[in-house]
Amino acid sequence: MKTHPLAIFLSRVAVALHRLDRRWADSQLSRFWRWWLAQLVQLLPVRLRALLCREAGRALYRWREGDFQQRLDVPGVEPMSWRSWRPAETAATRPDPPGIGSHWLLVPAAQVLSRRLNLPLAAAPRLREVLAFEIDRQTPFRPGDVVFDHRLLSRDQASGKLIVELVVLPVSMLETAIAALPGLSLDGVDVAGDDGSPWGLNLLPPERRRRSPDPARRANLILTMACVLLAGASLLTVRENRRQALEGLGRRVDSVREEAAQVAALREQLALAIDGAGFLEGAQAGQPARIEVLADITRRVPDGTWLERLSISDGRLSLVALGEDAAGLVGALQDSPWLRQVALGGTVQADRRAGRDRFTISALLVASSTHPPAPQQLQRAYGDAVR
C-alpha cells in the first residue's frame, strides 16, 4: 500500500518536532529556564501563584505484591500514600479526582535494562536515532522488540562527551502491563526506583499515548483570536489614517493647483502688458523725439509765418499755418533731417483779415537711429528757436 505524501510529510514534521523538544528538554538553557521560572513563581502571592500555576496532577499505577496500587500526585498537595486499586475502577466507571490530568504506569527497575553510554557531543541533535542504533550493540534485543528512552546524565563541552543512560523495556512486558489495565488510557510509562519515585522517563511510544486536553488551549485560543482582532484593528486604523492623509494631500494639491492657475493668469496678463509696453516703446523708439522735431520746425519757419495747429500722429506730421510764402515754407521743411515727403495738403486760402494765406502742410517723420538728445541740447535748441 502506497503511503500518501502528506502522511510522509506530517510524520517527518512530527519527528523533527520531537527531536527539537528532546534537544530543548536536555539543554542547559531549559534547566535554567525552569529554575528561573520556579524562583519567580515563589515571589508571587499565594492566591496568584495558585491561579497561574494550576498544573494538572497525575495518577501513578504500579504492580506490587500481586495487587495494583495507585497514588495521586497533585502539585501543591502533600503526596498521598499508595493504596490498592482494582482495574475496574477506570475513568469510565469512576471519574478522576480533582486536579488529575494524566495516568502513568510505573514498572519496576528490575524489568528494564539500562546502559550508560559515552557518546560524542555531536550526537546530541539526533540522540534518539543514535540510541536506536546502539540497542543492537549494547543490549541483547533488536530495536523492534523493545521500547526505550534515555536520561541525560552529563554534558562535557571541554571533552566533547555526552553521558547518557539508555533504558529499554521489552515490548512483551509492556503489553502485559497495559493489558492488566483494561479501559485505562495511559499518558506514559515510567520506571520506579528503589524508593518508588519515578525516573522521569516515558517508555510509552508517542503514537500510543493518550492525548490529554490542554487546559491552556482555550486561553491560548482566546489570546490568539484577540491578537488577530487587534492586528486587524491595527491594520484598519493604519488604512484609515492613510486614507485621511491622502484626502488631506488631495485638498492641498487642489489648493496649490488653484494658486498655480491664478499665478498663470497673472503671468499671462503680465506678458500681455510687457508686450504692449514693448510695442509702444518700439514704436516710440522708431520715431524722433517730438521736441527735436518742434525745435527744427521752429528754426525753419520764417518770421512772417504763424503756425495755427501742429499735430504728430502715427509717424505723420500735419500743420496749419498763416504766411505769405507757402512754397518757400515747404522747401525749408524739405531740408529738415526729420521730415520727408513734405507737401501742401489741399488748397491755399487767402485770409483777408490777416492779410496772409492759410495752408496745410503734411509730411512723414523719419525713423530715428540715434539716442534722444540730452536735456541741455534740447534747452539750447529751444533757446535758438526762441531767439
pLDDT in tens, 312-332: 887 888 888 888 888 888 888
Residue 237 CA to residue 232 CA, distance in Å, equals 9
339 and 249 within one domain: no
Which among 13, 31, 53 is the end of a domain?
53
138 and 122 within one domain: yes
**If DSSP codes are grouped into helix, strand and coil, which group holds residue 183?**
coil
Going from the C-alpha of 30 to that of each of 17, 27, 121, 135, 164, the distances in angstroms are 16, 5, 17, 27, 17
Digit-coded pLDDT (tens) for 121-150 = 888 778 888 888 888 888 888 888 899 888
Do 204 and 178 form a contact (C-beta atoms < 8 A)?
Answer: no
Following DSSP, what letter does each residue of 197-259 receive, concatenated?
A: -B-S---S-GGGS--PPPTTHHHHHHHHHHHHHHHHHHHHHHHHHHHHHHHHHHHHHHHHHHH
Residue 301's CATH number: 3.30.1360.100
Residue 93 has a pLDDT of: 47
321 and 198 within one domain: no
Residue 129's CATH number: 3.30.420.380
Residues 6+ apart with CB under 8 A from 318: 309, 310, 311, 345, 360, 361, 362
* One-letter amino acid of 171: V
Residue 374 has a pLDDT of: 45
Which residues of the chain fall below pLDDT 50?
Answer: 91-93, 370-375, 378-379, 381-383, 385-387
Question: Angle formed by the axes of helices 326-334 and 290-300, to 10°?
Answer: 130
Nearest to 85 by CA among 65, 111, 107, 56: 65
Dihedral over Cα of 138, 144, 145, 148: its sign: positive
376 and 308 within one domain: yes
206 and 65 within one domain: yes
Following DSSP, what letter does each residue of 26-41 receive, concatenated?
A: HSHHHHHHHHHHHHHH
**Angle, vertex CA 350, rays to CA 338 and CA 308, nearest 5:** 40
Residue 198's DSSP bridge partners are: 192
Q: The C-alpha cell of 201 is what?
A: 522517563
**How many beta carbons lie within 10 A of that of residue 106, not counting itself?**
23
Residue 17 CA to residue 30 CA, distance in Å, equals 16
Which among 214, 238, 265 is the end of a domain?
214
Residue 230 has a pLDDT of: 92
Nearest to 155 by CA among 120, 110, 201: 120
Residue 386 has a pLDDT of: 41
Nearest to 61 by CA among 170, 202, 188: 188
Which among 231, 250, 285 is the end of a domain?
285
226 and 194 within one domain: no
25 and 165 within one domain: no
Burial (Cβ within 10 Å: 0-12, 13-18, ≥19) of residue 188: buried
61 and 34 within one domain: no
Q: Which domain does 252 fall in, by range?
A: 216-285
340 and 197 within one domain: no
Residue 289 has a pLDDT of: 73
Dihedral over Cα of 345, 351, 354, 356: its sign: positive
* Domain count across the chain: 4
256 and 124 within one domain: no
DSSP state of 46: H
Residue 325 CA to residue 302 CA, distance in Å, equals 9
210 and 223 within one domain: no
Phi, psi (deg, nearest 5) at residue 333? -75, -25
Output 86-89 pairs: Cβ under 8 A, ≥24 positions apart. Answer: 87/180, 87/181, 87/182, 87/183, 87/184
204 and 82 within one domain: yes
Do 317 and 363 form a contact (C-beta atoms < 8 A)?
Answer: yes
Residues 6+ apart with CB under 8 A from 88: none
DSSP state of 315: T
